[in-house]
Amino acid sequence: MKTRWRIFAALAAMFLLGFFYRVSMAVSADAISRDLGLSAAELGVLSGIFFYAFAIMQIPLGPLLDRFGGRRIIVLLGVVTTCGSLTFALAHNYHMALAGRMLLGMGTACVLMGSFKIFTHWFTRTEFTTISGYMVAAGNLGNLTATAPLAQAVENFGWRHTFLAVSLLQFIITLIVFMVVRDSPDLATEPSESTDRCDAGILLPWRSIIFTRQFWYISLLAFFWYANYMVLLALWGGPYLIDAADLTNTQSGTMLLFISLGFITGSLCLGTVVARLFGSLQKTILTGQAILLAGMLAMLGPAESFSRPTLAVLFFMIGLVSSSGVLIYPLAREIVPHRYAATAMTSVNFFLLMGAAVTQHIMGMYIGSFARTAHGYPREAYHGAFLLPIFGLATTLVLCGMSDNFRRQSTGGTQ
C-alpha cells in the first residue's frame, strides 16, 4: 500500500469515530434521557454542545493548521476526544455529560480539516474532489455504526458500557495516527503546492477570506445544508420516527441507517457526477440541495403515512443528495491561495457546525414547549420544528441560484 493511502486509512478511521460521536445521540437519546432525567430542551443542548464546541474550535484551527500542519494537532485532539468519551460514559448527571460532549466536540474538530490540509500535500488538485468524497464516505461509516448497530449495543450492554468500549478504540486509533501519518512527502507531487507555507500573520488568512463574497454564499449554504442533514440524523430523526411514525427504537435506527447508506453512496460518486453529469461544483450542489429540500418537506406530515419500504427509500434518497454538500470544501479551497486552504475550509466548517448546533437547540426548545405524553411529543411539535431548517435551506437556494457571483466561481478543483 502506498504511503499516502496508509495515511488516508488512518485518518479515515479517526474520522469514522468522529462521525459516530456526532450522531450517536439519535438512537441513544431515549436511554440517556431516562438515565439522567433529561427534558427535551436539555437533550437538545446535550447534542448541540458538541457542535458548538466543534464550531468554535474552527476559529483558531485554520491558521494553526496552515502554520504547523495537521499531524500534531490531530493527535493532540485525539487524546482530548478519548477523555471526552470516557467522561461522557462515566457521567452521572447532566453537567458531567455536557462536559463530556463538549470535549468530544473539541477533540474531533480537527480531524476532517486537518486531513484535508494533509491531503493537499499528498494528492493533486485534480484528485482533491474525489478524495474529499472518499474521506466523507469513510466518515459516514461512523453514521452507520451509530444507527442500528448502536441501538442494538445500547439495548444489550447499556449506553455507558458501549461508550467505554468506544473510548478504548479511540485511544488505539489515535496511537495509529501518531505512528503512520506524516504531514507531507519528501518530494511532493506538486512542489509549488506542498512547499507553500503560511508564514504570514495569523489574521491575514481571515482577512483574505472574509472579504471574498463567494465565501459568504458557501458559508450560508453550509449552514443550512448541514442543519437539515444533522437534525434528522444526529438527534431529532430518531424521536420523530418513534413519536410521530410509531416506530420502535431499533426500527428508527434502521431507517436512519438508510440515510448513512445513501450519503456514503453519493460521496463515492461525487467526482464522477461533477465531471460527467453537471460539469461544475455549483450546479451539482444546488441540484442536490434542491432535491434534499423536497425530501425534507415529507417530515411535515406525509412521511408518517409512508409504508416502511417507502420510508426507507425516502431516507436513502435524503442521504444520497445530502452528500452534494461535501462540495463546499473544494469550493472553499478554490476561493483563496493554496497557502490559506485550511483557513478557508475551517472557516466554512465553522458555519456548517453552527448550523447543526443552533438548529438542534432551537428545535429542542420548540418541541419541549409541547406537553409530553406517555406516547412522546405530538406530531405537531415536530412539524413546526422542522420548518426552521427547511425554510432556511429554501431561502439559501434562492439566494445562491440568483447570484451570478456564486455561479461564476472558479471550478478549478474539478478539472
**pLDDT in the model for residue 250:** 81
Would 186 be classed as within a structural domain?
A: no
Any domain includes 192: no
- Residue 8 burial (CB count, 10 A): 23
* Mean pLDDT, residues 269-294: 84
Residue 134 contacts residue 265 (beta carbons within 8 Å):
no
pLDDT at 99 over 70: yes
Q: Does a structural domain hold residue 197?
A: no
Cβ within 8 Å of residue 105, ≥6 positions away = 49, 50, 51, 52, 53, 54, 57, 84
195 occurs within a structural domain: no
Residue 329 domain flag:
yes
Is the pLDDT at 377 greater than 70, yes or no? yes
Q: What pLDDT is recorded for position 194?
A: 41
Query: CA geometry: angle at 275 spanning 270 and 281, to 5°?
Result: 65
Grid cell in block for residue 44: 437538545
pLDDT band at 321 (very low <50, low <70, confident <90, very high): very high
d(CA 256, CA 50): 20
How large is the average pLDDT for residues 65-91?
91
**pTM of the model as a whole:** 0.75
The CATH number linked to 140 is 1.20.1250.20
Residue range 349-353: average pLDDT? 88
Q: What percent of the chain has pLDDT over 90?
A: 42
- Residue span of the structural domain in which 234 resides: 3-181+205-414
Continuous segment of H or E residues that includes residue 201: none
Contact assessment for residue 284 and residue 324, using Cβ atoms and an 8 Å cutoff = yes
What's the whole-number mean pLDDT along residues 137-143?
83
Tally of domains in the chain: 1
